[in-house]
Amino acid sequence: MSLTRRGFTQALAAGSVLGAARRPNIVMIYADDLGYGDLGCYGHPTIRTPNLDRMAREGMRFTQWYSAAPVCTPSRAALLTGRYPVRSGLTRVLFPDSPGGIPTSEVTIAQTLKSAGYRTAMVGKWHLGCLPEYLPLRHGFDTYFGLPYSNDMRPLAGPGSGGNPKHPPLPLIRGDKAIETNPDQSQLTIRYTEEALKTINGPKDRPFFLYLAHTFPHVPLYASERFRGKSARGLYGDVVEELDWSTGEVLKALKQSGQDSNTLVVFSSDNGPWLPRLENGGSAGLLREGKGTTWDGGMREPCLARWPGTIPAASVSAAQGNMMDWFPTFARAAGAPLPAGVTLDGEDMTGVLTGKDQGKERVFYYWHQDDLRAVRKGPWKLHTTTNETATQPVRTTKLDKPALYNLEVDPSEKYDVSGKHPDVVRELAGLLESHLAGIRRGEPQK
C-alpha cells in the first residue's frame, strides 16, 4: 500500500480520536525472548531495570498480555498484521536460506500509518523474510537499519552460539542493502538506540511510527563494555540492563525534544524465555515453561504502555490483551482508517489504555506453528495435550489428553481441573473446532 491522498485526507479528517491536540507519535519496542519474570517491575529480584520500572510507574503495566506465537517469526507477523500468523502463512521461524517472507497481500501497521501521513522507521531484528522483496522498505517502512533475522543464524560455531557453517555471514542492513557482515554484536544495542534517536529527533512536520525490535536477549548474548559483568544476574542480566538503558534513552529523547506527552510508547517481547539455554535464557516468573511452548510462559509477555496525560500513571491492568490488538489500537490513536477487506484478529484496546474500561472477557487461541494447541476464555485455558515442553514439542492438534486450568487461580498451570468441569472442557473444545473452521473460511475470531 502506498501513501494515497485519499487515505491521508481521511486520517487528517478523523484527527486523534483521543482528543490530543496532535496525532501521537507511536514507538513499539520489542525485545526478543525476554521472559515474563525478567524485569524489576515484574518481580525479578536481581536484574535492575529502573527505566522500565519508571515506564510502568508513569503508564500501564499489563499482567495478561499475550504474544500470538511462542517463537520469533510468527510473533512478529502477528504484531505487524494484527492477525493470527496462520492467516499470513508465517507460522514458522525463517532461516537465512528460507525462500519466503511476509506476503505482499498482507497489510502492515506501518503501511496503515504511512498511508495516514506518518513517517515510519524500523530498527533492529526483522525476521519476516531476508530477500529484498520481504524487507521492511517493501512493507511500509521509510527506513530500516538492523539484522534481517536472529543473531545466532551465522556461520560461527561454538558453545551456545547456535551457529551453522552453512549459514552465510550475518548481514547488518541499512535500507535494503547489507552494509556489514558479522557486526560486533556487543555494539548492537547501542547502534540500534542511536538509530532510534535519529527518528525521534527527525523532522517534526509529521508524526512518526518507530518499531524498535531489539536483537537481545536472544542468544548468543552480548552486552557493551559499560554493562558487561555488572549485573548480579550474570551476562543475561547485563544484556537486559542494557535494553533498559536503551529504553531510558528513548524516553529521554522524547522529553528533550518536547514530544513526551504526545507519544505512545509500548514495550514488550516477542515470546517467552529460551529455557533450554540454561543460565543464558530468561525467566517466565511464575508462569509454566517458556519459548516454543503454548504454556503461558511461552506466550504471556511483559507489556508496558506509556502516554503521559492519556494513559493513567501507575496503573496495572489484568485485562486480557495480545500483540494483534496493537494494530487497531495504534490505528485508532493515529486516526488512521483500518485496511478495507482485511480480517483483523486484534481488538482496539483504547478503552483499557485510557482507564475508561477494565476490558472484557476475551477468547485467545494459542498456536504453535500450524498446530492449534490451546484456547483461553476468561479464566479458563484448555490444552489439547499436556505433553509439551520446549525441548519436546508435540505435533498434534488432537484433543488426546485435554487439560483444563483456571489461570486466575492457577497462573502456573499446575492443577488440571478438567475432571471437575466437563462442561467447560466441552465449551472450550467447541471453540477450538469453530476457530479452526473460521480460520479456513477467513472469518474474524472474536
301 in contact with Mg ion (CB under 5 A): no
Query: Catalytic residue among 44, 72, 130, 303, which?
Result: 72
**Least CB distance to Mg ion at residue 32 (A):** 4
Q: Quote the DSSP letter at residue 337.
A: P
| Under rule CB under 5 A, residue 215 binds Mg ion | no
Please give the Cα distance from 154 to 171 (Å, whole number): 9
Catalytic, out of 41, 44, 127, 303: 127
Q: Using the rule CB under 5 A, is 151 a contact of Mg ion?
A: no
DSSP 350-400: HHHHTTS------EEEEEETTEEEEEEETTEEEES-S---SSS-----S-S
Burial label, 234 (beta-carbon count in 10 A; 0-12, 13-18, 19+): middle
Q: Does 33 bind Mg ion (CB under 5 A)?
A: yes
Q: Which of 26, 28, 30, 32 binds Mg ion (CB under 5 A)?
A: 32
Q: Between vectors from CA 411 to CA 405 and to CA 416, what angle results, nearest 5°?
A: 25
**127 classed as catalytic:** yes
Asked if the bond preceding 159 is cis, omega within 30° of 0, the reply is: no
Of all residues in this chain, which one has the CB nearest to Mg ion in the complex?
72
Q: Give the residue with the Cβ less far from Mg ion, 127 or 435.
A: 127
Query: CB under 5 A: which stretch of 100-108, 223-231, 266-274, 339-347 binds Mg ion?
Result: 266-274
Rounded Cα distance between 378 and 427, Å, is 12
* Part of the chain binding Mg ion (CB under 5 A), chosen from 31-39, 178-186, 303-311, 369-377: 31-39
- Cα-atom radius of gyration of the chain, to the nearest Å? 20
Q: Is 435 a catalytic residue?
A: no
Query: Does residue number 348 form part of the binding site for Mg ion (CB under 5 A)?
Result: no
Query: 367, 74 in Cβ contact below 8 A?
Result: yes
From the CB of residue 177, how many other CB atoms can be counted at a distance below 10 Å? 10
Would you give the binding string for Mg ion spanning residues 66-105, x where CB under 5 A is met? ------x---------------------------------
Using CB under 5 A, pick the residue from 106, 195, 270, 347 that binds Mg ion. Answer: 270
All cell numbers assigned to 418: 478438567
Decide: is 271 part of the binding site for Mg ion (CB under 5 A). Answer: yes
Q: Residues 233 to 262: which contact Mg ion by CB under 5 A?
A: none
Smaller CB distance to Mg ion: residue 270 or 289?
270
- Which residues here bind Mg ion, judged by CB under 5 A? 32-33, 72, 270-271
The residues carrying an active-site annotation are 72, 127
